[in-house]
Amino acid sequence: MTTTTIRPDTDLAADPEPPWLSGNTRARRLRMRLGRGRSVPHLALGAVLVAGCAAGFLTVFASSDTRTEVLALSRPVTVGHVLDLRDLAVVEVAVDDRVPVIPASRSASLIGESMATSLPAGALLTQGAVGPAMVPAAGHAIAALSLKAGQYPPEVAPGAQVSVVATPTAQGAPSPAWAGVVTGVGTSAGESTTVVSVQLPRTQALEVAAIPVGRLALVLLAEGER
């Protein structure tokens, strides 16, 4: 007589699948056996690890978005403008260390300082924007144009991009033109002319200055169409 001992199922290899089972049936039985080996402690440990990774990511993300209080302009200013408290606004921004912004703590020291350039409202104030005027720029010169009403648009203001056009000396002759930037607009009481200062490349500024009064006009250009 042959004695057969049946032992409990201890591992996958101890319970071979009958050869007549289909592939799908074998897969289901394998998943059932694997499921019996799972435990609550393992699942809890996995949840803790996921939560820890998420918390670490949020900590790194928050630390990388460091914002600093810096100074910006609350209204547009032109070159030479003397700053007062109404011109300044405090904003919180994330700025690269290489950008020379001015911290909000220095607002009091800027009162009474002159603008070195013209800037629009909302622009961040940098170290180079305040101080001696940066006009004319290197390689440029400023020509003064005495203009009457109708020879320039009333919207012309410092910082505007313009084309200086000279009326031709002969009928049918081309009208020379030079692109420049307005740096100042001034009027004198009792006079019918307006003096507009225009920055141009040095050679062109000399050409414009040599043209007699009355033969020049300004054309206002769109931003970036010089």
The per-residue pLDDT for range 93-131, each reduced to its tens digit, is 887 778 889 999 999 999 998 888 778 888 899 988 888
Is the per-residue pLDDT at 199 higher than 70?
yes
Alpha-carbon separation of residue 114 from 79, 82, 136, 179 (angstroms): 8, 4, 16, 27
Instruction: Grade residue 204 by pLDDT with cuts at 50, 70 and 90.
Output: very high
Count of C-beta atoms within a 10 Å radius of residue 154 = 8
pLDDT at 19: 54
pLDDT at 215: 93
Rounded to the nearest 5°, which phi and psi values hold at 141?
-145, 165
Q: What is the pTM of this model?
A: 0.49
Alpha-carbon separation of residue 220 from 7, 53, 133, 184, 226 (angstroms): 98, 58, 23, 14, 10
Residue predicted with more confidence, 22 or 138: 138
Residue predicted with more confidence, 127 or 62: 127
pLDDT at 143: 94
pLDDT at 61: 46
**Which residue shows structure tokens 């070159």?**
79
Residues 6+ apart with CB under 8 A from 139: 201, 202
Instruction: Grade residue 33 by pLDDT with cuts at 50, 70 and 90.
Output: low
Q: Under DSSP, is residue 215 helix (H, G, I), strand (E, B) or coil?
A: coil
pLDDT at 197: 92
Mean pLDDT, all residues of the chain: 77
Residues 6+ apart with CB under 8 A from 179: 161, 162, 163, 164, 200, 221, 226
Which has the minimum average pLDDT: 30-34, 113-117, 158-162, 201-205? 30-34
